[in-house]
Structure 1
Amino acid sequence: MALERFHEAQNQRGQGFSAALAELQTGEKTSHWIWYVFPQLAGLGRSSTAQFYAVRDGAEACAYLADTTLRGRLLRVTEVVAAQLAGGVPLVRLMGGRTDALKLVSSLTLFEWAARAMKPVGTSEAAELQTLRERCGDVLGAATDAGFPRCDDTLNALARSL
């Protein structure tokens, strides 16, 4: 499974993970990194960029979380999103618009599922996956309250793939 595409994109200067983290910490997404920081399940995005960074299936989502760098980064940005929402920043403003709010919900629906489906290797991975599940739940709960419930398309696709 070619996770290198995520590493390469997230390591870019100016528009990679560091930029995403900084924007979320200031309370508003302003640039274009959603596809490789909060990737969605294949079949949901229409653009060539969305398709390139799409996670093929539940197995690739689990592989993404098994990668210590990608898991750590996803956990970090999800913690920041959860903190911003808990602090009163509206989801749509935080994500720079309704479209990216929907993409965030789709991504966290996928990774909440994957974090539950995985069999962790070691106590460190188990603890990080537990924390990720909790933060995904926090964000998805706040998103539901804002009118953005968990992504049914993602959940249905995952159910069909079992």
Structure 2
Amino acid sequence: MEKRYDLDRFLEAQRETYGNALEEIRQGSKQTHWMWFIFPQLRGLGFTDYNIFYGIENLKEASLYLNHPILGKRLVEITQPMLEIENKTALEILGRPDERKLKSCMTLFGLLPETPECFRQVLVKYYNGEQDEKTLQLIKESGS
């Protein structure tokens, strides 16, 4: 029996916040709290309730997220303006620790074979092309 993944948790969380999150990124300054469910990262990188609830379990769930008609489109849509921001670091745009969450999110989705180039481009622009080592380690350990 194939495992079912609950992507509805992201749709529910984004319903009221996605538009504001997109506008904040377009303005180059994150102001409110939405990082966990807009730029999700692998479960196991953080241990707050939000990190656990919105954590992506493995590459299979990441692939389902990226191929979801709403969630995947939104992830690409909100990643694109990150590439257009000039003369700011990820820390200046997102604050701490969210600049690290972005790196882990871009690493996770950048590992997928069908992934848009924008995820890798964010890693190049803000992180000298370096992937998040903890994300890579968790993927390796999980065998996914």
Query: Structure 1 runs of 4+ off > 6 angstroms?
Result: none
In the TM superposition, what is the alpha-carbon distance from 1:92 to its structure 2 partner? 0.9
Per-residue deviation, 1:135: 0.9
Alignment partner for residue 144 of structure 1, among 127, 134, 142?
127
Conservation of the 8 A alpha-carbon contact between 2:44 and 2:138:
no
TM-aligned CA deviation for residue 11 of structure 1 = 0.6
Amino acid at match of 2:42: L
Deviation at 1:158, TM superposition (A): 1.6
Indicate the percent of aligned positions where both proteins have the same amino acid: 32
Structure 1 equivalent of residue 108 of structure 2:
110
1:125 counterpart residue number: none
Where is the helix percentage greater, Structure 1 or Structure 2?
A: 1
**TM-score, normalization: structure 1?**
0.81
2:27 pairs with 1:26: yes
RMSD (Å) for aligned C-alpha atoms: 1.4
Question: Can you give the 5+ residue segments of structure 1 that lack an aligned partner in the other structure?
Answer: 119-128
Count of matched residue pairs = 139
Query: What TM-score do you get using the length of structure 2 for normalisation?
Result: 0.90
Deviation, structure 1 residue 138: 1.2
Deviations along 1:64-98, one digit per CA (max 9) or x if unpaired, are 012011110000111011111xx222211111x13
Residue 54 (structure 1) aligns with: 55
Q: What's 1:2 paired with?
A: 6
